[in-house]
Amino acid sequence: MSQRATPGAASLRRLGLRARLLLVSVVVLAVGLAAGGVLLVATMRFALLRTANTEALETARAVARLVDNRSLSDPVPAGPTVRVQVVDASDRVLSVSAGADRLVPILYPRELAGLSDGEGMFISGDRIGLEGRVRVVVLAAGPTEARVKVLVARPTGDLTQSVDLLRTTLLVTFPPLVALLALVAWRVSGAALRPVEALRAGAEDITGGARPGRLPVPDSRDEIHRLAVTLNDMLHRLDTARARQRAFVADAAHELRSPLTNMRTELEVAQRLPDTTDWPELAGDLLTDVERLSRLVDDLLLLARSDDGGARAAPPPSGEVELGQLLAEVAARYPSVEYERPAVALRVAGDRDALARVVANLLDNAVRHAASAVRLAVAADGAYRRITVADDGPGIPAADRERVFDRFTRLDDARARDAGGSGLGLAIVRELVRRHHGTVVLKGTTPPPGLSAEVRLPAA
């Protein structure tokens, strides 16, 4: 069975969205109209037949009152389409209306015996010379010692004709009505899907490079509007990411070119002057350039992983780090750094190597620009631990203190490059601090000039 259904489902999937919406709408409308028509015809038929039964009972009650009052005439007064008989207990016909049989009762004896007072049944009109179905009701009348039964036959042909007319009208008008509704549904679905087509055309133009990366936003405040806004936000983020990636690649290529150019120049000079070349000194210079190149590659890899989102998804390390001891170990590498270890242990949750790199990068930056002294300190700051690296160098203008955290940003390119800086140190500091749910800011020192870098990390 599923194999037989597969081609039909595949054919339905090959239809366009507008055609599928039209097909579903027409099927639902057709089923709904058909069900409504059937219900209407059935309800109308029930109501009309109930009317026939009510009319027959009213006639039977009127005749019964005449019998009770001993004023029954012969023929019995009744409508031209109604047949009335009054029969006794022996099923003999006593009185009839105009057109009714005076010899044979309307109902057979077994039918009369099966009906209670006030009940009725349908019989064929051929039995009493009428067309169609006939509703016959039975009602007892007269004194107890001379009880009679009043039989009233009400034909239903005139009532069922209206039902048949209604059914025929519905059958005739059903196909044109469905066709009209299908046309309306086709136009309405086309108007509803017009913004989607506009989005598709806009996306095609963007893909072909015909215009900037923005999709048309419809004026309606519906799902299509929200979809267009969301897609435009996504395109904006993609454009920003592409621009950032291009800048990153260009800056990385520029930074990698510098140590490689130095190494090539040294090797070319050594090749031209082989007799006077100081090979140990050359090896040391080359090793310095290689170490710089290695650090640059490591920094680029760290920032690339950050852009990839892996670091954002990973939870921060759960280990505890005692900052007093960590800062003492890092400060020991810098003879010019002033540091006094606090008397109490100050712990944070984090990765020891990552926090050591944060402090080392800040100290590298401070030592590179300090005039005479660099101070390193750590202290408790409420629920945080504050690490401070201050130097007495030229400082950074307040307008540039946020910009220097961007990658490859150097306020003095020549000096930074000569000192071995790549413009990634502070960017790495901010990324590692962010992973530990902390903050880092640059402030001016008192008295100026000078610069102070403050890192706040949540206490363990």
Which structural domains are found in the chain, ordered by start? 67-157 (3.30.450), 223-308 (1.10.287.130), 316-458 (3.30.565.10)
Residue-wise pLDDT for 254-267, tens only, equals 667 777 887 888 78
CB-facing half-sphere around the CA of 197: CA atoms within 13 A: 9
List all residues 6 or more positions away from 378 whose beta carbon is below 8 Å from its beta carbon. Answer: 323, 324, 327, 342, 346, 385, 386, 387, 388
User: For tokens 């790199």, what's the residue?
Assistant: 357
Task: Answer whether residue 11 shows pLDDT above 70.
Answer: no
Residue bearing the bigger pLDDT, 417 or 407: 407
Residue-wise pLDDT for 82-97, tens only, equals 999 999 988 899 999 9
Reported as a pLDDT band with limits 50, 70 and 90, residue 375 is: very high
Reported as a pLDDT band with limits 50, 70 and 90, residue 313 is: very low
CA gap 299, 357 in Å, rounded: 11
Compute how many other C-beta atoms are within 10 angstroms of the C-beta atom of residue 152.
Answer: 30
pLDDT, residue 266, reads: 79
Percent of the chain with pLDDT over 70: 89
Which tokens is 455 given? 């890192």
Which tokens is 167 given? 């059914």
CA gap 114, 337 in Å, rounded: 119
Reported as a pLDDT band with limits 50, 70 and 90, residue 334 is: very high
Reported as a pLDDT band with limits 50, 70 and 90, residue 414 is: very low
Poorest-pLDDT segment among 130-134, 190-194, 321-325, 355-359 = 190-194
Mean residue pLDDT of the chain comes to: 83
Angle separating helix axes 425-435 and 352-369, nearest 10 degrees: 150
Beta strands (DSSP E) in 117-271 are 120-124, 133-141, 148-155
pLDDT, residue 406, reads: 81
Reported as a pLDDT band with limits 50, 70 and 90, residue 2 is: very low
pTM of the model: 0.49
Among residues 188, 92, 217, the alpha carbon closest in space to that of 149 is found at: 92
Spell out the long-range contacts of 436-441 with Cβ–Cβ below 8 A and sequence spacing 24 or more: 436/316, 436/348, 436/349, 436/350, 436/351, 436/354, 436/355, 437/316, 438/384, 440/358, 440/405, 441/401
Residue-wise pLDDT for 147-183, tens only, equals 899 999 999 887 788 888 888 898 899 899 888 988 8
Which tokens is 338 given? 């002033």
Task: Answer whether residue 198 shows pLDDT above 50.
Answer: yes
Percent of the chain with pLDDT over 90: 23
pLDDT, residue 243, reads: 79
pLDDT, residue 418, reads: 44
Task: Answer whether residue 246 shows pLDDT above 90.
Answer: no
Among residues 420, 426, 419, 414, the alpha carbon closest in space to that of 451 is found at: 426
pLDDT, residue 410, reads: 66
Task: Answer whether residue 244 shows pLDDT above 70.
Answer: yes
**Residue range 423-438: mean pLDDT, rounded:** 87
pLDDT, residue 318, reads: 62
Task: Answer whether residue 419 shows pLDDT above 70.
Answer: no
Poorest-pLDDT segment among 75-79, 271-275, 279-283, 351-355 = 271-275
Residue bearing the bigger pLDDT, 242 or 275: 242
CA gap 119, 136 in Å, rounded: 9
List all residues 6 or more positions away from 455 whose beta carbon is below 8 Å from its beta carbon. Answer: 358, 362, 386, 387, 388, 429, 433, 438, 439, 440
pLDDT, residue 308, reads: 61
